[in-house]
Structure 1
């Protein structure tokens, strides 16, 4: 076997990409990030990521080795989504509670019980940071939103995002383990993470529920 062939067989990232390709397409179709983005829909997308990440981040941290906790802590993004939601202050449209419930339910199908599973799940969220970069210029042009006011989550780490993705790729290859069971656990967790995100965003296209008017005396 040639060195190149051996590398192809043992490299984790292509295997993760193959395992999750159809689900990546599914969530792109669900979120429509390339389409014009009304503020209400943008707020729902932020809400979905915030609800998911605030549950997911502590679980991934616990599954990673303790020596990687500082590395992980420097990459968490749920505070960015929370900051955007506060800055936008959009009126509640009836999906807050349903998306919270869908995020809770989605976590039940996501096993994060090993470093390999944590790495596989991280692959999904780390990769989403790259895709988010294309949305911020559109939100600036359409709504005047900036990383300081409304697009902190999708702006993420800005110019550092590409380098952080490359760093993650190297860490994933080193930390996920080389055994078949570990590689399978990473791929299973990546697939489950996509499915959990899709389930979390299930209510995204629900009709707006107007607030009930106050009763007259």
Structure 2
């Protein structure tokens, strides 16, 4: 049994322990190092088809979480902007398949568990951005806005998310957050497999 590091808040330790293996395995399968514009476009389409319905599912409860600033955390507008920049039109974007979620979002702990995955992906995307840009000839105005969604405020936004996450102290609520995070990783992997973009 892995013992959570004492230096971290319990909720963050529990989330890391529960999801690190899932995260590492999935990250190796996502074609972040592609120089293939068509594959990259399909990847952004798959992300859009995942994020849009998931963010719609989160929205009502997320709006009630003090300090979360939900309205500036949504990634769907950036993904949509990237799709336009990559050459899709409104009809093509409207036809992109959407993931059907079985997640139940009943409280802030559920939302924060899901956002641990989504906000973590945003933070991690910073280390991938420059390589993606140079390989594909894109930038935040030409198909790569999703990977620069918070710009220079990325760390500030991550810390703001952590401040909300650290309010989840009750053991039962912490367990809900962990279940939500694990389910999000699992759903994302299954979705990307269905969209045939994983390596």
Structure 2, gaps ≥5 residues long: none
Residue of structure 2 in register with 1:100 after alignment: 97
Q: Which residue number corresponds to residue 164 of structure 1?
A: 157
Structure 1 or 2, whichever has the larger Rg, is 1
Counterparts of 1:7-156 in structure 2 under 5 Å?
A: 8=8, 11-33=10-32, 35-64=33-62, 66=64, 68=66, 71-89=69-87, 100=97, 103-104=99-100, 107-108=101-102, 110-156=103-149
2:190 corresponds, among 199, 204, 215, to 199
CA spacing shift, 1:134–1:38, aligned 2, 3 Å: farther
Q: Residues 68 and 164 of structure 2 are in contact (CA less than 8 Å); yes or no, is this contact kept in structure 1? A: no
Distance 2:151 2:68 in 1: 20
Greater share of helix residues, 1 or 2?
A: 1
Q: Quote the Cα distance in structure 1 between the aligned partners of 2:124 and 2:182.
A: 18
Distance 1:111 1:26, change over 3 A: farther
1:117 to 1:68, Cα distance in 2 relative to 1, 3 A:
same
Shift of 1:43: 1.0
What is the root-mean-square deviation of aligned Cα atoms in Å?
Answer: 2.4
Kindly tell me: are residues 19 and 69 of structure 1, through their superposed partners in 2, closer, same or farther at Cα, counting changes over 3 Å? same
How many pairs were matched up?
A: 189
Give the TM-score normalised by structure 1: 0.78
- 1:192: how far off? 0.4
What are the ranges of 5 or more consecutive residues in structure 1 without an aligned counterpart? 207-217
Correspondence for 1:214: none
